[in-house]
Amino acid sequence: MKRNISFTLIFCLAAVLFITNNSNADWTWPFHPDKAKRSYWLALRYYDSNRFSDAIPWLNTAIENDARYAPAWALRGRCYLHSNKPESAIADLNQAALLAPSELDILIDRSQANFALDRSSLAISDLTEVLNEDASLSLAWKLRGKYRFLINDDAEALNDLTNSAQLNPNDADVFFMRAELLRRLGRDTDSILDYGITISLDPLRPKPYLARAELFSAQKLYPAVITELNGFIRLESQNETAYFMRGIAHKKLNHLTDAIKDFNQCEKINSNYFFKNNGHAERGPLFYFINEDTRALIDINRALNENSNQIELVKIRGMLLARLNEHKMAIADFSEYLKFNRELDILRLRALSYLELELYPQARADFKVVADNVSGETLSFFKIGIIDFNDNKFSSAIDNLSTALKTDSNILQAYLIRGIASFRLQKFDKAIADLSKYLSYNKKDLSALSFRAKCYYEKNEFEKAINDFSAIFELGHHDAELYLLRARAYIALGDETKAVPDYSKYLQIYSSDAAVHFERALSEIKLERHREAINDLDILCRPSTPDTIVFFLRAQSKFKMKDYIGAAEDYTEVIARDMINPEIFFQRARCFKKTRDFERMNFDLEKVFQLDSSYKNRTLD
């Protein structure tokens, strides 16, 4: 007896070794005392290797040899279940349940088959029966919670999943399902917590990262959104949705470059998705804010071509066009935007574009609306002041610039323009005060120096005027008009020596200015530079009817230069125009004496004495 038992054990061991070494081969076992169990045992090995179709024939054999062998029915049912044949699975599992009613795993398997056939109530009933028998089975709670979740029986599903989680706190599936359920119930904070537990149990599962990112995004917790999406992208690096969401989060945090990179990657992975989700509308403004104007315009135009009702994009495009000095198109966009949103900042920008196009009435109207509606508005009053100034409305300009300066006394340009406006109105003291204020910050500003110099000149403060004129010339700005004014200032101070070079610099530009030639001639005569004076006076004598004084002065200079004949000729020209002036005859008589033309000298003297007998007391020398 003992020898037979030993032989049997040795034979079984050999069989096990044989099967182990030939698990992938087609083989049979020629001998076993219980053929049903032997077939079941062989089928189980296939089942454990997920070779369900290979396991079923052995299970068929087992059932044929012992129709009451419940494990064979149960295992075949599982094979059908895993082979997506739920009806066949249910038939076998029903039979198994009849043969082994206490085997709860059979009911669990049958519940899955029923649910696969949309028989939710039967599936839940099986699991309820299981839990009534053994409430410690985590899997049963999990499955019933899952089924209830899928049929929207949320309260019961939550209870089941919570029980499963308590029994098996390491089941990532349970926490993930409960997180999904809590999210559906609007319990976002609890949902985020369960997703987090899921990640801690199964860090290679992508979906919880994405779900947490979506929930954090709804709460506007954008740093957390980025953290979760970083985790998701590490697992799924080619997911366009994740890059798009992270781009949005970066945009919200003003991480403009990072946002652009994510949007670019999204477009690279799936350009159609990027387009459908209005990616160009999201990315275009970012390019604008980092001054990549061309790329911004391309994106914004494409977005607006797809949907022209994106009014915020119209606004940004207007700002972009204004920055590109395309003011006409910018005005069109601003005007379109203002139809829907009377935003004063945009009204101000439109006014600035009108101003660039020199459309002053339109610009002034927009600035006026802004000024009337914004407390403490500075820019609009300042710009209105400029417009009024350009329109020669100097009093109004001064009023508006003064209003702007009350709000912000640091608008230096306002002092400059108000100073010039005061100059135009001949309010020289006020002009000097404003221009000096401006020059205290901009010492080398030519315009301010020029107008202050003119103010000093008009106030007869010639030395101060000369100082400002000289400062302008030292800065390399050589304005002919200013040289003329400095020359006249020198004349007013009796300094003909310095005046003459300034007259000359003026005449280099305006050589035909007879009045200035005359002024220079007078200065040259005073300086006894008669040759130079004659040159100027010659120019004045070229017109067909020169002034009498010109011939008179030239005659005097010629006399000084001992050109007595020429002097006599000029005096003759004077006499032709003024025959009753004894001094002219007297001076010509002096010329005749020098040329020893005594006859004509005596004639002139007789004429002098006729006109004024007091000349008898004067000598020709």
Residue in 520, 580, 582, 530 with CA at minimum distance from that of residue 555: 530
Q: Which domains does the chain have, with CATH numbers?
A: 493-545 (no CATH), 547-621 (1.25.40.10)
**Residue 267: partners with Cβ closer than 8 Å, 6 or more residues away:** 274, 279
Instruction: Judge contact between 29 and 15, C-beta under 8 A.
Output: yes
Residue in 162, 161, 232 with CA at minimum distance from that of residue 199: 232
Whether 135 has a pLDDT exceeding 60, the answer reads yes
Please state, in angstroms and rounded to a whole number, the distance separating the CA atoms of residues 378 and 374: 9
Please state, in angstroms and rounded to a whole number, the distance separating the CA atoms of residues 141 and 160: 5
So what's the pLDDT on residue 599? 95
State pLDDT tens for residues 245-290: 999 999 999 999 999 999 999 999 999 999 999 999 999 999 999 9
Please state, in angstroms and rounded to a whole number, the distance separating the CA atoms of residues 78 and 106: 9
Burial 316-344 (b: 16+ CB within 10 A, else e): bbbbbbbeeebbeebbbbbeebbeeeeeb
So what's the pLDDT on residue 26? 41
Q: Write out the two tokens for 486.
A: 């400095």
**Residue 575: partners with Cβ closer than 8 Å, 6 or more residues away:** 581, 584, 585, 588
- Looking at residues 78-88, what average pLDDT do you find? 95
Mean pLDDT of the chain: 92
Between 210 and 13, residue with greater pLDDT: 210
So what's the pLDDT on residue 545? 66
Q: What secondary structure letter does DSSP report for 613?
A: G
- Looking at residues 465-480, what average pLDDT do you find? 95
In angstroms, the Cα distances linking 38 to 29, 41, 44, 65, 491 are 9, 5, 10, 10, 135
Q: How many residues does the chain have?
A: 621
So what's the pLDDT on residue 262? 97
State pLDDT tens for residues 93-127: 999 999 999 899 999 999 999 999 999 999 999 99
So what's the pLDDT on residue 609? 93
Q: What secondary structure letter does DSSP report for 616?
A: G
State pLDDT tens for residues 520-557: 999 999 999 999 999 999 888 876 667 899 999 999 99
- Looking at residues 483-495, what average pLDDT do you find? 96
H or E element, residue 55: helix 52-65
- Torsion angle (degrees, nearest 10) of CA 68, 69, 70, 74: -120
- Give 376's pLDDT tier (boundaries 50, 70, 90): confident
Lowest mean pLDDT among 203-217, 260-274, 371-385: 371-385
So what's the pLDDT on residue 92? 93
Residue in 279, 275, 319, 276 with CA at minimum distance from that of residue 297: 319
DSSP string, 533-576: HHHHHHHHH-SSS--HHHHHHHHHHHHHTT-HHHHHHHHHHHHH
Residue 342, SS3?
coil
So what's the pLDDT on residue 541? 82
In angstroms, the Cα distances linking 253 to 217, 219, 230, 258 are 12, 14, 16, 10
Please state, in angstroms and rounded to a whole number, the distance separating the CA atoms of residues 79 and 8: 31
Whether 23 has a pLDDT exceeding 50, the answer reads no
Q: Write out the two tokens for 309.
A: 């009702």
Please state, in angstroms and rounded to a whole number, the distance separating the CA atoms of residues 153 and 123: 14
- Amino acid letter for position 12: C
So what's the pLDDT on residue 542? 77
So what's the pLDDT on residue 86? 94
How many other C-beta atoms lie within 10 A of the C-beta of residue 29?
A: 13
Please state, in angstroms and rounded to a whole number, the distance separating the CA atoms of residues 441 and 407: 19
Please state, in angstroms and rounded to a whole number, the distance separating the CA atoms of residues 71 and 341: 75
| Sign of the CA dihedral with 25 first, then 26, 29, and 35 last | positive
So what's the pLDDT on residue 240? 96
Residue in 621, 127, 588 with CA at minimum distance from that of residue 606: 588
Whether 21 has a pLDDT exceeding 60, the answer reads no
So what's the pLDDT on residue 543? 66
Residue in 235, 207, 233, 229 with CA at minimum distance from that of residue 216: 229
State pLDDT tens for residues 432-456: 999 999 999 999 999 999 999 999 9
Percent residues over pLDDT 70 in the chain: 94
State pLDDT tens for residues 565-611: 999 999 999 999 889 999 999 999 999 999 999 999 999 999 999 99
Please state, in angstroms and rounded to a whole number, the distance separating the CA atoms of residues 480 and 331: 41
